[in-house]
Amino acid sequence: MKRIILLLMYAFIAGRVMNAQSSQSQLPDFIHTTYSVGGSLHNTKEIECSDYDTFQFIYLMAAPQWNEIDFDVSMDSIYQHVNLFEYEKAPYEMPLVPQMINTAHEKGTRVLLSFAGEGFNAIVENTSRRKKFINYMIRLIEKHNYDGIEIDWETGVELGLHAIFIHEIRTELNKLSILKNKYYYLTTALHYFQRYDQKLANKVSKDVDWINIMTYDMGGGIWGNTATHNTPLAEIKTSLEHWKVFSPKQLCIGLANYGFRYKNIMPGQKIEGKLNQYGQYFSYNDFLPLLNQGWKEEYDKTEQVSYYFSPDRKEFITMENPSTILEKIKWITQQGYRGVFWWEFHYDFILPDDSATKGKHHLIDIVSGYLKPKSSVQ
């Protein structure tokens, strides 16, 4: 009798897991996703007019200040942080996040809570802190109706420790999936220059749904010392060679609707110190008015991306445009990758005028249009 009961329990659990994973199999072969910063949600009209249904997933950067929590205290105290956290309350100032999640869900888009920032190493390298941190994340996404977790660990990544962390998160998400009869996704973002050996890649592949490779910030940005292209397709192609230890179906490639504006420096010039004394972060929406002020495009055939120069050539911008984005998405789809993701949703978003009901994107819509299934000829 005991054996029969155990078999029935295993069958029940297996059935719950299969039901929870069924939604995963309903995804298209190629997914279109984006990051969105919770603090950039300014009004309800923006949410109501946003084209969330353009994407299968949104990675929402709306986690509370997790890196300020003392994970050496008891689990009960850490759960208290979750219980007290509400998006509508100060000092978080993200009151529209719940509405955004609900609206995205109504449009069939899943929302993952992105954990990003400094402080992963000090927490994750300690077994006790890591366990509490994971339990904290699980409780948080359950409370606020997220569809999974995204780990954006960019600074000081130790890939072996990262793999352990990812595995333990997946284990807890699987438990939650059984409890809720819902599949919870797990993704992670890593810089293009990270390198895995085959053994570690195989290990990570079992736990993540896919990896977001940040194929941007490839030039000096404002942090380096050489002002070059932000998103050169030629370099992207080269850098992705060492990612072949993964199946392309587990890799999403990053697209950027932002760039960098530099003054009193030339492309490729190396300086002492950091580029923030010469340049600034620049969204596509900030860039567009300059085209009416005499700025001119110069396409770099070698790097397969463009610079834009001011009329006096004392300033330049590294930025995508509709043509270079189309060139990228064509190449990415041809290579069989899992999909693409954007940094960031708001950087090229256009609120509708009074005659329209849905907002648009200058660059994102280029990819959406390309990926849209072609109407069959009757």
% of the chain at pLDDT higher than 90: 86
Question: Could you tell me if 48 and 103 are in contact, meaning their C-beta atoms sit under 8 angstroms apart?
Answer: yes
Q: Which is nearest to 32 in space by CA: 366, 272, 314, 307?
A: 366
Residue 377 has pLDDT above 80, yes or no: no
Q: How confident is the model at residue 5 (pLDDT cuts 50, 70, 90)?
A: very low
Residue with tokens 């997933």, as numbered in its chain: 57
Give the tens place of pLDDT for each residue, 12-57.
444 545 555 555 658 999 999 999 999 999 889 999 999 999 999 9
As a whole number of angstroms, the longest Cα–Cα distance in the chain is 86
Give the tens place of pLDDT for each residue, 179-211.
999 999 999 999 999 999 999 999 999 999 999
Helices (H), 50-143: 75-84, 97-106, 120-124, 127-143
Phi-psi label, residue 268: left if phi above 0, alpha if psi -120 to 50, beta otherwise = left
% of the chain at pLDDT higher than 70: 91
Q: Produce one character per residue of 182-215: b if its CB has 16 or more CB atoms within 10 Å, e if not.
A: ebbbbbbbbbbebebeeeebebbbebbbbbbbbb
Tell me if residue 227 falls in helix, strand or coil. Answer: coil
Cα radius of gyration rounded to whole Å, the chain = 22
Helix, strand, coil percentages in the chain from 3-state DSSP, rounded to 5: 45, 20, 35
Give the tens place of pLDDT for each residue, 111-158.
999 999 899 999 999 999 999 999 999 999 999 999 999 999 999 999
Pairwise CA distance, residues 179 & 172, whole Å: 11
Residue 102 has pLDDT above 80, yes or no: yes
Q: What is the mean pLDDT of residues 73-91?
A: 90
Top pLDDT among 94 and 321 is at 321
Predicted local distance difference test score (pLDDT) of residue 375: 33
Q: Which domains does the chain have, with CATH numbers?
A: 14-257+322-371 (3.20.20.80)
